[in-house]
Structure 1
Amino acid sequence: MGTANKPPKLLRMEDYPSWADKFETYVQALNYETWTAVEEEYIIPKNENGESYRLSQIAYADKPLFLKEKKMLNIFQQAIKAKIFQLFQYTGSCYSIWHALLITDRGNPDMRKSKIALLKKEFDIFIQAKGESFAQLIERCCYLVNEMKRLKIDKHDYEYIDKLADALPEEWGTIILI
């Protein structure tokens, strides 16, 4: 979840959709100007050796942009587990990190298409698993519905309700009818 002093931590890429909203809110509440570093790419100036300048070497007009970029990089480093950084390619700027996370979560078009097909199939065959508790069934159903909405698979609410009602054991028939 994060605290006032620490950003929410991204421990697994599967958590990205819910983490992204919390992270964005955290950074914007902390300092909105810092958040703008992910909206527009800033290339940190480099010297003739290809090394980044130190703050004392940056032109006066570039210092606010440079500081904003460095603050945002620091927040990313605190918030994202090191192993996750290895999953995607980025240029080192905050902008590239944020967009690489987004692309990694969404996947390429073929992967996205296969995820959508898999979720639709999972929805079609959704039933209560043997030995599954009611709480586990509801949790699995909520996860499925949230994933479908995240990938913009349109279903009416009554379809979700009907699918959940059909997944319940037969002895619940009277309760569902009421």
Structure 2
Amino acid sequence: MDNEFYNAFASPISVTQNALLKNETGTTQKPPKLMDIDDYNGWSERFGNWVEAYHLDAWDHTEVQYFRPLGSDRKPIPIRELSDEEKKKYKNEKLMVSLLQ
């Protein structure tokens, strides 16, 4: 009887289904994955909602592109010389790219 109870929750099928569900819906640490190109429309809405919920500052960079400041020589200012606010914007831009990849 104990095995029946355990098997109802931990059968190989339910473990597999659980893994697929986590891939599809995401977790607090991982965004939902696009498992098939035919699912793009549903995925894009889930992905957008997930990023807005867990990384709102990064989501802002899908609406407003970040441009790294240039020095007087018209070259990008090194990261270590950016202001704290510019570093935050730079980091959020890179986070958004990373989440999409």
What TM-score, normalized to structure 1? 0.36
Aligned-pair CA distance for 1:71: 1.4
Aligned-pair CA distance for 1:45: 4.1
**Any idea what the Cα deviations from partners look like across 1:27-53, whole Å, max 9, x if unmatched?**
111022221111111123467696x65
**Corresponding residue to 1:58 among 82, 86, 100:** 82
**Any idea what the Cα deviations from partners look like across 1:125-157, whole Å, max 9, x if unmatched?**
xxxxxxxxxxxxxxxxxxxxxxxxxxxxxxxxx
Distance in 2 of aligned mates of 1:6 and 1:61: 26
Residue 75 in structure 1 maps to residue 99 in structure 2:
yes
Structure number with higher relative contact order (C-alpha < 8 Å, ≥ 6 residues apart) = 1
Residue 42 of structure 2 aligns with which residue?
18
Query: Structure 1 residues 62, 16: CA separation in 2 closer, same or farther (over 3 Å shift)?
Result: same
Residue 5 of structure 1 aligns with which residue?
29
Aligned-pair CA distance for 1:68: 1.2
Q: CA RMSD in A?
A: 2.5
Residue 34 of structure 1 aligns with which residue?
58
Residue 15 of structure 2 aligns with which residue?
none
What TM-score, normalized to structure 2? 0.59
Distance in 2 of aligned mates of 1:43 and 1:7: 25
Distance in 1 of aligned mates of 2:70 and 2:46: 33
Runs of at least 5 residues in structure 1 that lack an aligned partner in the other structure: 78-178
Aligned-pair CA distance for 1:66: 0.9
SS in 2 for 1:33: helix
Distance in 1 of aligned mates of 2:34 and 2:74: 34
Larger Rg: 1
Runs of at least 5 residues in structure 2 that lack an aligned partner in the other structure: 1-23
Identity of matched residues, %: 29
SS in 1 for 2:32: coil
